[in-house]
Amino acid sequence: MSSGSRRASRHQQEKDDDAPQWIPGLGSDKPKPRTLGTSFFGYVPDAFVEKTPYLPSERTADSAKKQAELEKSAGQRSESASEISEQDATAQRDMDASSDEGVVTEEVIVPRRVVGIAAEPWNTDALDGSAQNRLLIKGGRVVNDDMMQDADVYIEDGVIKQVGQNLHIPGGTKVVEAKGRLVMPGGIDTHTHMQLPFMGTFAVDDFYTGTRAALAGGTTMIMDFALPQRGESLVEAYHRWRAWADPKVCCDYALHVGVTWWSPKVAEEMRELTDDHGINSFKMFMAYKDTWQLGDSDLLESFKSCKELGALAQVHAENGDAIKENSKKLLSMGITGPEGHEMSRPEEVEAEATNRACVLANQVGCPVYICNVMSKSAAAVIGENLRKGKLVYGEAVVAALGTDGSHYYNTCWQHAAGHVMSPPLRNDPRTPSLLLELLNVGDLQATGTDNCTFSASQKALGKDDFTKIPNGVNGVEDRMAVIWEKGVVSGKMDPCRFVAVTSSNAAKIFNIYPKKGRIAVGSDADIVVWNPNATRVISAKTHHQAVDFNIFEGMEVHGIADYVICHGRVVVEEGELRVQSGMGKFVPTPAFCPYVYGRVEDRDRALAPQKVERAPYDGPVVQLNSQPQGAVTEHITAVQQENFYTRGPTRSGGVNLHDSSFHVSGAQLNDKSPKRPSVKVNNPPGGKTSGSFW
């Protein structure tokens, strides 16, 4: 295509930007709206084809055959990619030859479908000094959490070098045209569970498919959880997750580590992880009784260790004891379907645990981060504690912002089970709107997805018992679009607040700001060029995740990541992915984050208990060991031995009349006293006993 044709194409595209449109790169056909009462599984019958990866233990001859066919197909696509790369190289040489020294040469990236083309290896050493390692994002509006400005962004070696207008750019720099677009920091998903071993199976989205999908939606960093089993070493769990993630991730990632049991060894390993391995957050569970749940005493110990280490204590807040009892009761009543999951975990169970976590953390002055805030009640508890000056942060999950718990009562079992997560979605249509409003005003600060995906066949492990349905839903790909649609398009927040809750606040809380979460000189070049006018319809048929179900099925959203830049490389171009496993890297999170711990020392000093100075007491003190003499005293002592009394005898040795003579055994105060002779009362109330009635 000639340069004139490309300009005409861009002009026509910009002309059409004001009207909502279906972006071709995100699906060949626009899905039809879903009708109420129908199952998502009936709507997407082929959504799971060639998406669910085989686990090593599940490989068969048929799966091996399919794998061979996929590899053959990938080889053919690779040959096509080589031809396209040669054409691109020729065009680049022609453009370089025609440019004069000192003149900025712009290679305009034109939207192009590149289906199935793998990116070249990430070799920054080979690219040093090359024009291909320089990028200019031109003509867009830069949006940070605190400001917006019309500016260009120049990137070199994966780092932002200049932000402003009329920049001095080296020749041969690639250019991304961003006119009419918003240039924002890449999203940070604070809560994912890729390939998590859970409830006897593994999450189907591993670190490759999960991070690949994240990039497609504009998220350039995830934060996953290394969760040891009870009694397992925390350090060993950390290394196992690193071994899973490092070869596969397409974007950067960090790790939280779970504290699923307690002993002095756990405290030592927490210190090792913080000092040597870049971990600054630990997650404790108040649910999942008999597996990950900690009691209050262990929670206090873990909070004390977190504060000592300068780490952030995270909590999954649900009352596990109440959930277990509720589940037993519901199963005994014959309620075995997915609706039982929501019934067994009512809002008050979440709110009670949220308040208890805040109270316990406050006793030791430890900052606490409440994960998965799913209900109005729990969010209200967090807001109340914030206004009391407590160190608490709240994380909303995109599932709770985009849908609700009415799906648990759908008559299609697979549809209902596809929404099972913990805490559950709330069966209240007002909850998503309220949580978004609380994100805007600051009662909640960050957004994650709790992305932990299981296929329909895996969910079917609980077909006869809702407690055996693997908990987890999707969201890592659609988080940015859903929050934009429900938050910005609806008028609940502006673009700056959107950047705060999807990226900047997470970077601040976990101490990676402004390296992440901001567009500024020196920050990592993790950027999304956002088209606020484009629309798409979310569907499992078109998403990039491995799971065969999408809880946002049929939702039309405004806002699409036209371009995603990760480490200065264009990895998403008009909806087409160009990624490779292992492109991402582990990001250490340093302890003692100023955003979290900046006021802890002063707060502790201000709230420290103060001793009251007074003159010593010099009056009489009763002698508790002295025993009064006499039969009455002996009788009182004997009665006390029978546990009738909680108070001692009077000073004269008599019975303390403030005590009760009642005893649960049925014994009476005078059971051991000799019987007295009967006394005849001549004139009792009601009349004399002498004489005759007839």
* Mean pLDDT of the 56-85 span: 45
* Sequence-separated (6 or more) residues with CB below 8 Å from residue 498: 143, 184, 483, 484, 487, 488
For tokens 């990541």, what's the residue?
561
Inform me whether the pLDDT recorded for 91 exceeds 50.
no
Tell me how far CA of residue 308 lies from CA of 100, 214, 589, in angstroms: 61, 34, 16
Terminal-to-terminal C-alpha distance of the chain: 131
- Determine the longest span between alpha carbons in the chain, in angstroms: 141
* Closest among 246, 216, 357 to 299, alpha carbons compared: 357
Q: What does the alpha-carbon distance between residue 207 and residue 205 come to, in Å, rounded to a whole number?
A: 7
448 forms bridges with which residues in the sheet? 397
pLDDT given for residue 634 in this prediction: 55
Q: What does the alpha-carbon distance between residue 281 and residue 312 come to, in Å, rounded to a whole number?
A: 5
* Closest among 535, 528, 399, 527 to 26, alpha carbons compared: 535
pLDDT tens profile 247-271: 999 999 999 999 999 999 999 999 9
One-letter amino acid of 253: Y
Peptide bond between residue 514 and the one before it cis (omega within 30 degrees of 0): yes
In this prediction the pTM is 0.74
Peptide bond between residue 247 and the one before it cis (omega within 30 degrees of 0): no
pLDDT tens profile 582-640: 999 999 999 999 999 999 999 999 999 999 999 999 999 988 875 555 544 555 455 45
Confidence of residue 671 (pLDDT cuts 50, 70, 90): low
Q: What does the alpha-carbon distance between residue 383 and residue 151 come to, in Å, rounded to a whole number?
A: 37
Confidence of residue 199 (pLDDT cuts 50, 70, 90): confident
Peptide bond between residue 423 and the one before it cis (omega within 30 degrees of 0): yes
pLDDT given for residue 686 in this prediction: 66
Peptide bond between residue 346 and the one before it cis (omega within 30 degrees of 0): no
Share of the chain above pLDDT 90, in %: 69
Q: Which tokens sit at 37?
A: 């009462």
pLDDT tens profile 323-357: 999 999 999 999 999 999 999 999 999 999 999 99
pLDDT given for residue 443 in this prediction: 97
Confidence of residue 401 (pLDDT cuts 50, 70, 90): very high
* Sequence-separated (6 or more) residues with CB below 8 Å from residue 33: 537, 554, 556
CB 549 within 8 A of CB 474: yes
Alpha helical stretches, state H, 346-485: 347-363, 376-387, 398-402, 413-417, 431-441, 456-459, 479-483
pLDDT tens profile 276-308: 999 999 999 999 998 999 999 999 999 999 999
Instruction: Name the average pLDDT for the chain.
Output: 82
Which DSSP helix (H) or strand (E) runs through 331? helix 320-332
* Sequence-separated (6 or more) residues with CB below 8 Å from residue 146: 496
Q: What does the alpha-carbon distance between residue 22 and residue 158 come to, in Å, rounded to a whole number?
A: 31
Question: Residue 124 — φ and ψ, nearest 5°?
Answer: -70, -25
Edge-to-edge, what's the strand order for the sheet holding 182-185? Answer: 148-150, 141-143, 182-185, 527-537, 556-566, 569-573, 576-577
- Residue 286 has a CB neighbour count (10 Å cut-off) of 27
Beta strand 527-537 with 182-185: parallel, antiparallel or unpaired?
Answer: antiparallel
Q: DSSP character for 335?
A: -
